């Protein structure tokens, strides 16, 4: 069975600090996809990144970066120089290739950036 | 391009009633998925429809059902509402060009917040 664990329920930092959101996953499949979504107070889930299981290359997009390590089944998300607008709930998710449109989400991490 | 729209945005029902929620996907998207979000259980997959057929299903009782129309619009229905059905119901659409294709990115709507009294 698939499972995604986000051990950090809530994180609070001061603006401009760097913050890392942890994600650990479990799956028996060799082919799968990993995602991060952001959910602002409005409720809509905003897609941030997708990684497939064969691509362990880390990615950087502006202040956001992702570290994918198959050896530890982790897909961590770092925000550098955080801003108040980054405050939201962040979800890590997993999808098997064959049931591809079904996402299994972690419990989410509520991130609060204080001015 | 218009995003995924869901109607209504807010809904209040009483126990025992039934409810129908609607989702209009992004134009050209053929796959529609539904998710339930509650504080206790988090985000859980309900089902996915592709070309009017249910393709995937989560672990929810039969009171939860859905359908998809020929224009890809989808509805989900919950019968005999229970207090625990109070949740944010999110709909997501994706292109899914080929029925057995690998993952296509899902775009989420704003959700329908259902309150059961």
Report the alpha-carbon angle B1-B7-B12, nearest 5: 155
Task: Look at residue B1 in the predicted model and tell me its pLDDT.
Answer: 65
Nearest to B31 by CA among B60, B66, B72: B72
B110–A42 C-beta distance less than 8 A: yes
Asked if residues B4 and B107 have their Cβ atoms less than 8 Å apart, the reply is yes
Task: Look at residue A12 in the predicted model and tell me its pLDDT.
Answer: 97
Task: Look at residue B98 in the predicted model and tell me its pLDDT.
Answer: 55
B113–A101 C-beta distance less than 8 A: no
Report how far residue B46's alpha carbon sits from residue B99's, in angstroms, rounded to the nearest whole number. Answer: 19
Length of chain B: 117
The percentage of chain A sitting over the pLDDT mark of 70, rounded to a whole number, equals 97
Report how far residue A92's alpha carbon sits from residue A37's, in angstroms, rounded to the nearest whole number. Answer: 6
Interfacial B residues in 53-82 facing A (CB < 8 Å): 55-56, 58
Of the candidate ranges A94-98, B33-37, B60-64, the one whose mean pLDDT is the lowest: A94-98
Report how far residue B60's alpha carbon sits from residue B66's, in angstroms, rounded to the nearest whole number. Answer: 12
Q: Which residues of chain B neighbour A93 with C-beta distances below 8 Å?
A: 43
Which letter does DSSP use for residue A24 in this model? E
DSSP notation for A77-92: EEESS--GGG-EEEEE
Given a cut of 60, is residue B101 above it in pLDDT? no
Residue A98: band (very low, low, confident or very high) from pLDDT cuts 50, 70, 90: low
B106–A101 C-beta distance less than 8 A: yes
Asked if residues A36 and A91 have their Cβ atoms less than 8 Å apart, the reply is yes
Given a cut of 80, is residue B34 above it in pLDDT? yes
Report how far residue B3's alpha carbon sits from residue A15's, in angstroms, rounded to the nearest whole number. Answer: 31
Q: Write out the two tokens for B72.
A: 């890809």
Q: Write out the two tokens for B42.
A: 């988090």
Percentage helix, strand, coil for chain A under 3-state DSSP, each rounded to 5? 5, 55, 40
Q: Which of B43, B102, B113 sits opposite A105 (nearest CB)?
A: B43
Per the DSSP assignment, residues forming a β-bridge with B93 are: B32, B107
Given a cut of 90, is residue A55 above it in pLDDT? no
Report the alpha-carbon angle A100-A101-A102, nearest 5: 95
Is B48 near chain A, with CB under 8 Å?
yes
Q: What are the tens digits of pLDDT across the range B38-80?
A: 998 999 999 999 889 998 899 999 999 999 999 999 999 999 9
Length of chain A: 115
A50–B104 C-beta distance less than 8 A: no
CA of B42: which chain A residue's CA is closest? A107
Which letter does DSSP use for residue B72 in this model? S
Strand arrangement, sheet containing B74-78: B5-7, B19-24, B74-78, B64-68
In degrees and rounded to multiples of 5, residue B76 shows phi and psi of -125, 145
């Amino acid at each position: 069975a698939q499972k995604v664990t986000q051990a950090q329920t809530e994180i609070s930092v001061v603006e401009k600090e760097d913050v890392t959101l942890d994600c650990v996953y479990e799956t028996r499949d060799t082919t799968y996809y990993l995602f991060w979504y952001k959910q602002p107070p409005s409720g809509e889930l905003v897609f941030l990144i997708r990684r497939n299981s064969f691509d362990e290359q880390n990615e950087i997009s502006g202040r956001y970066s992702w570290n994918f390590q198959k050896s530890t089944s982790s897909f961590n998300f770092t925000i550098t120089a955080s801003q108040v607008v980054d405050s939201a709930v962040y979800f890590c998710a997993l999808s098997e290739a064959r049931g591809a449109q079904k996402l299994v989400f972690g419990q989410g991490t509520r991130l609060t950036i204080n001015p | 391009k218009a995003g995924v729209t869901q109607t209504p945005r807010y809904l209040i029902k009483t126990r025992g009633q039934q409810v129908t929620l609607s989702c209009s996907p992004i134009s050209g998207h053929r796959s529609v998925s539904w998710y339930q979000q509650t504080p206790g259980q988090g985000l859980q997959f309900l089902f996915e429809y592709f070309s009017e057929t249910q393709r995937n299903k989560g672990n929810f009782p039969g009171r939860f059902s859905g359908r998809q129309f020929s224009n890809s619009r989808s509805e989900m229905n919950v019968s005999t509402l229970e207090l625990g059905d109070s949740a944010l119901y999110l709909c997501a659409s994706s292109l899914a060009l080929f029925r057995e294709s690998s993952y296509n990115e899902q775009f989420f709507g704003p959700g329908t917040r259902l309150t059961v009294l």
